[in-house]
Amino acid sequence: MLGATKRVPALIPRFLQPLRQLHEEIEQNIHFHKSKGQHILTNPRILDTIVRKSAINPTDTVLEIGPGTGNLTLKLLEASHKVIAIELDHRMVHILENRATKHNFRSKLRVITKDALRTDFPPFDLVVANIPYGISSPLIIKLMYETAAFRSATLLLQKEFARRLLANPGDSEFNRLAVNVKLLADVEFVMDVSKRDFFPPPKVDSSVIIIRPKVNVPDVNLRQWRAFTRTCFNNKNKTLGAMFKSKRKVLELLEFNNMAGLVKEQGDVCLFKDKIVGVLREGGFDDKRPSKLSIEELLHLLGLFNEVGVYFDHHGGVMNEDDIDD
């Protein structure tokens, strides 16, 4: 009877039923942790579209982060030479390996049971992944700034987050993440994905995007660039004049440049401020807002600061724990 049935498969489109029923059975044995982003994509048409849009060659090695129960992994294994899957949850790994074995793909699958943010990625050709929402920003920055060259990354992300990556200068969504990714790559929208296509369903819809690293990237120190954009986009809608001429920012930059040995003598605060004001005025940036500047304009401004001895970073890796984009 209808009232005694917890779920009603007849209300689900026929092509969705097999994977949905499989994961209902899986959930009887293990619990999906929504707080860890364990929302499994169960729509085979979307899975097929993701694989097709990824343009996988039979000789490619694909990196998948957060494979979960392996719905996407099985299709990647079929299309590629090898899949490297990074999955921290041992329960998911067990299901994934069993499904790969059942489909005669086990020899093509390598599973790394570690935290994707804290492990070095082995060589790969492209990324295809349904990324857990909670690590989207640091993971994308890691791919772009701390990973060897790869061809593309096809990513399923929270819709609002994807819109930030797709944003351009002047858009309300344009932020530091967008400018840092677009310095090194082009971002393409593929499609939106309804929350109903996941099990268990998340609270928000998702989008698929493709990130393609640029062949030719600007000649800029990436540590300087990331520290500079962190400063600019901390208050992205403030004018650069109001931001950089504030007493707090002048003292912060003066202290940093002195501690780093970039200012040879203990600089007078007024003289150091004059340097900053001069750069902004001569470059025509005084009344400009970071959220409306192109990458080329931001690069130009950074170069002007460096020319007069104002720097924003001098050591350490490209990314650290307090250097995460919004």
Q: Count other Cβ atoms within 10 Å, centred on residue 315.
A: 6
**Nearest-5° Cα angle at 224, 221 to 165:** 90
The answer to whether 250 and 276 have CB atoms below 8 angstroms apart is yes
Instruction: Look at residues 131, 132, 298 and name the one whose alpha carbon lies nearest to residue 224.
Output: 298
Question: Distance between CA atoms of 34 and 46, rounded to whole angstroms?
Answer: 21
Is residue 153 left, alpha or beta, with left meaning phi > 0 and alpha meaning psi from -120 to 50? Answer: beta
> Which pair of structure tokens corresponds to residue 281?
């005025």
The answer to whether the Cα torsion of 103, 104, 110, 111 is positive or negative is positive
Question: Distance between CA atoms of 281 and 285, rounded to whole angstroms?
Answer: 6
Q: What share of the chain is helix, strand, coil (3-state, %, to 5)?
A: 50, 15, 40
87 labeled binding residue: yes
284 labeled binding residue: no
User: Which ranges constitute the DSSP H helices of 185-268?
Assistant: 222-232, 240-244, 247-259
307 contacts: CB under 8 Å, gap ≥ 6: none
- Residue 115 burial by CB count (10 A; 0-12/13-18/19+): exposed, middle or buried? exposed
Can you tell me whether residue 272 is helix, strand or coil?
A: helix
183 labeled binding residue: no
The answer to whether 41 and 156 have CB atoms below 8 angstroms apart is yes
Query: Which residues share a beta bridge with 78?
Result: none
- According to DSSP, residue 120 is labeled P
41 labeled binding residue: yes
302 labeled binding residue: no
Question: Distance between CA atoms of 269 and 125, rounded to whole angstroms?
Answer: 50
115 labeled binding residue: yes
Q: Which residues are annotated as a binding site for S-adenosyl-L-methionine?
A: 39, 41, 66, 87, 115, 130
Q: Which residues are annotated as a binding site?
A: 39, 41, 66, 87, 115, 130
